[in-house]
């Protein structure tokens, strides 16, 4: 606790004594309210985890990709991997993991439509689209869109969407 408080003082002293005091108080209140929760030595749950990928997935996905997705890639023998290092086409369709705790939200009023976010996203999750305004006729009311930020395209709209299932 002494080291935690030292770190608090070092980090927040420039913000004032009041900030340091409140952080010390938070640490002290945490200690007062700590409770031990007994945990049994053996798991008693009967819940089975679902398979990592569907039984309908191709053999390579079931035997190789699924092992990696389950965090067990180190168990794969080298012989399980393709000799030339390439994966069969269309295997990423089986990797919809929904694992991200944080997903970006597009704010049309601050976006400058540069496209950098979709370009640097490592999994192709952030997707930008340009389309004719008439395409919005049947769109949900909450669908976010912005006029294109370019001259000569009065009927063109811009949208940035995030494909949640692939976001890591």
Q: Is the pLDDT of residue 166 over 90?
A: no
Collect contacts of 69-73 with beta carbons under 8 A, ≥24 apart: 69/95, 69/97
Residue 66 has pLDDT above 90, yes or no: yes
Give the pLDDT of residue 155: 94
Mean pLDDT over each residue of the chain, to the nearest integer: 91
Domain 96-168 has CATH 3.30.70.20: yes
Domain boundaries defined on the chain:
2-32, 59-94, 96-168
pLDDT band at 168 (very low <50, low <70, confident <90, very high): confident
- CATH of 59-94, picked from 3.40.50.300, 4.10.780.10, 3.30.429.10, 3.40.50.2300, is 4.10.780.10
pLDDT of residue 126: 94
Predicted confidence (pLDDT) per residue in 104-159, tens digit? 899 999 999 999 999 998 888 999 999 999 999 999 999 999 999 888 999 999 99
């Amino acid at each position: 606790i002494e080291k935690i408080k030292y770190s608090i003082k070092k980090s927040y002293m420039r913000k004032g004594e009041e900030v340091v005091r409140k952080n010390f108080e938070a640490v002290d209140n945490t200690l007062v309210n700590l409770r031990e929760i007994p945990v049994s030595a053996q798991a008693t749950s009967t819940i089975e985890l679902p398979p990592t990928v569907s039984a309908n997935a191709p053999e390579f996905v079931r035997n190789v990709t699924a092992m990696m997705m389950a965090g067990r890639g180190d168990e794969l023998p080298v012989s399980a991997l393709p000799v030339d290092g390439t994966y069969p086409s269309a295997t990423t369709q089986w990797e919809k993991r929904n694992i991200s705790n944080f997903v970006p939200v597009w704010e049309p009023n601050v976006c400058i439509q540069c496209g950098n976010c979709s370009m640097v996203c490592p999994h192709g999750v952030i997707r930008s689209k340009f389309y004719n305004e008439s395409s919005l006729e049947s769109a949900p009311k909450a669908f976010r869109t912005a006029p294109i930020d370019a001259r000569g395209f009065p009927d063109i709209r811009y949208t940035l969407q995030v494909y949640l299932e692939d976001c890591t």
